[in-house]
Chain A
Amino acid sequence: MSVATQDTALRTGRVARTLIYLFLLLMALFYLLPFGIMVINSLKPLSEITGGNMMSLPQEWTLDAWRAAWSTAQIGVEPTGMRPYFWNSIKMVVPAVAISTVLGALNGYVLTKWRFRGDTILFGLMLFSCFIPFQIVLIPMARVLGLMGLAGTTSGLILVHVVYGIGFSTLYFRNYYAVFPTELVRAAMMDGAGFFRIFWRILMPSSGPITVVCIIWQFTNIWNDFLFGASFADFDSQPITVALNNLVNSSTGVKEYNVHFAGAIYAALPTLLVYIVAGRYFVRGLMSGSVKG
């Protein structure tokens, strides 16, 4: 009785427990099926999909759809496959994540260890910027990107994602550094260490976990973005989400479902991999993005 446990387990009978397990398993099936069926059907030839049952395993296993989706499928007007768009996404995501994370770390450091009057209001204004409906900035952003000569370029998309990513990356580091002992910073200041030296030597070495959280969050968000990609990119910069949407919706004639599925899996793979490898950090990021403090 006195053993303290972590859960809120109630006293439940056998029947109740069986029902609970049944519910949990059914829900697991609900989450697994849509994506799982998609994976299985991407390994079938088209005739087995249109003529057969989506729930059955392939009679003939084939990677043809995967090959077609990667390099020959018609996307928009060009039969390029997803490959160029996959690289567009990579070229956009890597710099955008790096820049917004570095800025977020520096901002979080200033906002917690070098506080000044009005810093909370400024942080609030930064934070609100993550939640705005981006429709409110689409029109002026299109104009400004045009004026800067960045319309339809990857650099333009990087700029957009950095701007609207700073709020979250700042939030992560601010909340993390808020509980970092300020005495250490004070002591270093007494010893004559400057702003960057303190950051580099004292805060950075213990910022590993939050950096991982921030990178994963930014990576997932920016990789999965569709609105900005659809609004501001052209062929040379369109991200993979836009390409997937074009692939699924543009095909004239026969709908090659298996190719669509393979394309969807290419679009999902990077974020899924990150989730599988670093799921713990992913959850932490989700949580600190919502439940602050």
Chain B
Amino acid sequence: MASAPAQADFKTRLQNLIPKLVLAPSLAVIFLFVYGFIIFTGYLSFTDSRILPSFNLVGFENYSKLFRLSHWTTSITNLAIFASLYIGISTLIGLSLATFLDQKIRGEGLLRPIYLYPMALSFIVTGTAWKWLLDPGIGLEHTMHLWGWTSFHFDWIKNSDYAIYTVVIAAVWQSSGFVMAMFLAGLRGIDNEILKAAQMDGAGNWQMYRRIILPQLRPAFLSAFVILSHLAVKSYDLVIALTGGGPGRATELPATFMYSYTFTRNQMGIGASSAVIMLMTIAAIMVPYLYAELREKK
């Protein structure tokens, strides 16, 4: 008789345990393969690892070496140029497309998917298409010459001063439609009564746009910035497919730097320290954002 409540008790305890047991494998995997690995790479960045991991600590030597390497300073300068243009232009194009699409446009249903489809493509495909299009010998420049515009000159992809901008062009092509979708969702969420009221009060178009519409898009601006900046820091595939980091080192980014130092130049310690810097850059953007997003929900 006494065993019935005990059994029920056992059952409730089991019931309470099941959810945690279900969550456990995912958490274990995340802690090991994400946070464990971050700690491991972080540790390696303080060692003299070359072709194989070594556990011989050398303090901040890799970091001081890293920032003395012109290869690295080129990479971060390129990232700064690439990221600011990529984020800026994508936001500008995305916002304009969304604003104009929201003007009762005929054929919106057809245009929207056209703007967005590059997002479904791999960066390797995007790189392949643009690499050829930008190739002066066969792509756009060649075509313009055939059409009789013989003074047309567009060889940025072969020019080490301008090659980084071709990466911007291809990357903007790939993701500006996505930014458009985010802004469009934001615009569709704006209460129309406010706009009507402002119109009644005689507000002009520009004034309405600046004073009422843009401020309401703040969350969309923030999301676009966060998403684009983390994509920019992680950019690897596109550079590999479009320029291979070249000409020379003109389009090297931290991601390609890390890969070549770790796996082809056998400087694992330096490679690890560059990965740590990349992680910290992204964490500086993502952690406050995620913190704010998750807190609001309570």
Contact = CB atoms under 8 A, between A and B. Distances in A.
A177 to B, nearest CB: 13
A10 B209 contact: yes
Contacts of A241: 122, 124-125, 237
A282 B294 contact: no
B244 A249 contact: yes
Interface in B183-231: 185, 187-188, 190, 192-193, 195-196, 199, 205, 208-209, 213, 219-220, 223-224, 226-227, 230
Contacts of B149: none
Interface string A33-67: 01101100000000001100111000000000000
A168 to B, nearest CB: 12
Contact of B41 (A53, A137, A271): A137
Nearest to B124: A241
Contacts of A80: none
Contacts of B38: 132, 136-137
A160 B27 CA distance: 15
A290 B294 contact: no
A195 B173 CA distance: 46
A232 to B, nearest CB: 11
A140 B226 contact: no
B20 to A, nearest CB: 7
Interface residues of A, number: 102
Interface string A133-152: 11111111101100000000
A11 B104 CA distance: 11
A143 B41 CA distance: 12
Interface stretch (A16-24, A71-79, A202-210): A16-24
Contacts of A114: 19
B121 interface: yes
Interface residues of B, number: 116
A290 B227 contact: yes
Contact of B117 (A55, A248, A272, A293): A272
B121 A138 contact: no
A32 interface: yes
B199 A248 contact: no
Contacts of A178: 297
A194 B290 CA distance: 33
B142 to A, nearest CB: 7
A25 B188 CA distance: 22
A133 B285 CA distance: 12
A37 B142 CA distance: 14
Contacts of A103: 25-26
Interface string B110-143: 0101111111111111101111110000110011
A101 B192 CA distance: 38
Given A227-B236, A248-B241, A116 B19 contact: yes
B241 A135 contact: no
Given A50-B138, A136-B275, A267-B122, A31 B293 contact: no
Contact of B130 (A11, A34, A290): A34
Nearest to B187: A8
B122 A271 contact: yes
Nearest to A53: B146
B62 to A, nearest CB: 13
B66 interface: no
A182 interface: no
Contact of B122 (A27, A109, A224): A224
A67 to B, nearest CB: 19
A190 interface: no
A31 B118 contact: yes
A139 B143 contact: no
Residue of B113, B244, B255 ringed by the most chain A CB atoms within 10 A: B113
Contacts of B138: 49-50, 54, 257
B92 to A, nearest CB: 12
Interface of A: 1, 4-12, 17, 20-21, 23-24, 27-28, 30-32, 34-35, 37-38, 49-50, 53-55, 103, 106-107, 109-111, 114, 116, 120, 122-129, 131-141, 143-144, 162-164, 166-167, 170, 178, 194-196, 220, 223-224, 226-227, 230-231, 241, 244-245, 248-249, 257, 260-261, 263-264, 267-268, 271-272, 274-276, 279, 282-283, 286-287, 290-293
Given A133-B255, A290-B182, 16 more contacts: A8-B102, A9-B102, A27-B115, A31-B173, A120-B294, A120-B297, A124-B290, A128-B34, A132-B34, A136-B37, A136-B278, A166-B30, A226-B237, A245-B124, A267-B125, A291-B185
